[in-house]
Structure 1
């Protein structure tokens, strides 16, 4: 009887262990699926606004009440100046709509670094904050630079006066076209808390339009001039800096 009980316990333990493993695998798969942004060239994008040289598209997400957006624009600024803005951890406050606080956190490198930012929300809605992993890569042959940002909430303790966003994925592609830069921006964010999807979705148009216009303006400022894109022997982007190293 003791042996039967032992075998029974081991049998149930094996079943429970298998269920836990299956749940973990399912959770990991779901997390991977949530992190995936729609393809740039998907036919499901719906053009919502075209103003000047900026076009804004949106797309419903099957696992979220919040839409993803895609923004395309030809910015009147060279890619060197645009990237000088983008690699500055505090520049979020200069060009991104409603970004009121931003700075680098933790240890990182040019290719993978971390930043904290706050998104101001109109009263009585609670402000949202983000901890982001930022990955940057570029290729000298094509001249393109890609930046990807993903919410990594556990890297920093939460602030009781703000709601931490734990699901946000952003993709930027920068393509040099002479002295101008073509920018493609994809993003999907779940802002957490009691915010209706329809309300957030109505704001998705203004955010990239205003932000891209500001990015173009900020990149023209004196403090973002004179930068170079630095590549290693294999043509991989390794830095964005001024010739004197400042």
Structure 2
């Protein structure tokens, strides 16, 4: 291999390494009550992605039951007003959710496609993807245009490490103060409420 080719290859590998590092550039935004919340800038979007991580003293079956009960999910999902199951096919589900928003912001709704994957070690990952055109728009609500994320459940010494990671494009106009507040409160409050429900159910 010639010198120029080796130089070019080294440059490409360096760029790839830098891009990979940037992709994992999560900044700790909150660390409280056993819950850590990280934020990450998303290229081309004014809204940051969030990642919440905690450990829940519950078994996988309890967490799966809580996840599968769409109607009860609003008892632990941050600012959830109403949620219902639209369709289920084996390891896939489609849900419709309405969210509360402070005045004067128009309330949001969202249709999400959930795909579950189970690993050989017992870990579970539920991929989340918005499908805004799945239902017609609802009067009085702005449809969330993008949701990319997942729920991760990994067994750890008799407990479950739970990761909740999402990037959302809420549609319409959202004040920066509300967006910045939401990306920290949503994972923190959701994980805290889920942990309380799961541990009570043991």
TM-score bracket, shorter-length normalisation: 0.7 to 0.9
Cα deviation 1:84-120 (Å, max 9, x = unaligned): 10122223211101111001114x3131111100111
Structure 1 segments unaligned to the other structure (5+ residues): 1-37, 226-246
CA drift at 1:39: 8.2
Cα deviation 1:57-104 (Å, max 9, x = unaligned): 101111100000111111122222111101222232111011110011
Structure 2 segments unaligned to the other structure (5+ residues): 1-18
| TM-score where L is the length of structure 1 | 0.70
Are 1:142 and 2:121 counterparts? yes
Is the CA contact 2:127–2:151 (under 8 Å) kept in the aligned structure 1? yes
Q: 1:160 to 1:40 in 2, by over 3 A?
A: farther
Aligned to 1:77: 58
Q: CA RMSD in A?
A: 2.1
Aligned to 2:83: 102
- Structure number, greater radius of gyration: 1
SS of residue in 1 equivalent to 2:172? coil
Question: May I ask how many residue pairs the two structures share in their alignment?
Answer: 184
Are 1:53 and 2:34 counterparts? yes
C-alpha distance in structure 1 between counterparts of 2:82 and 2:176, whole Å: 25
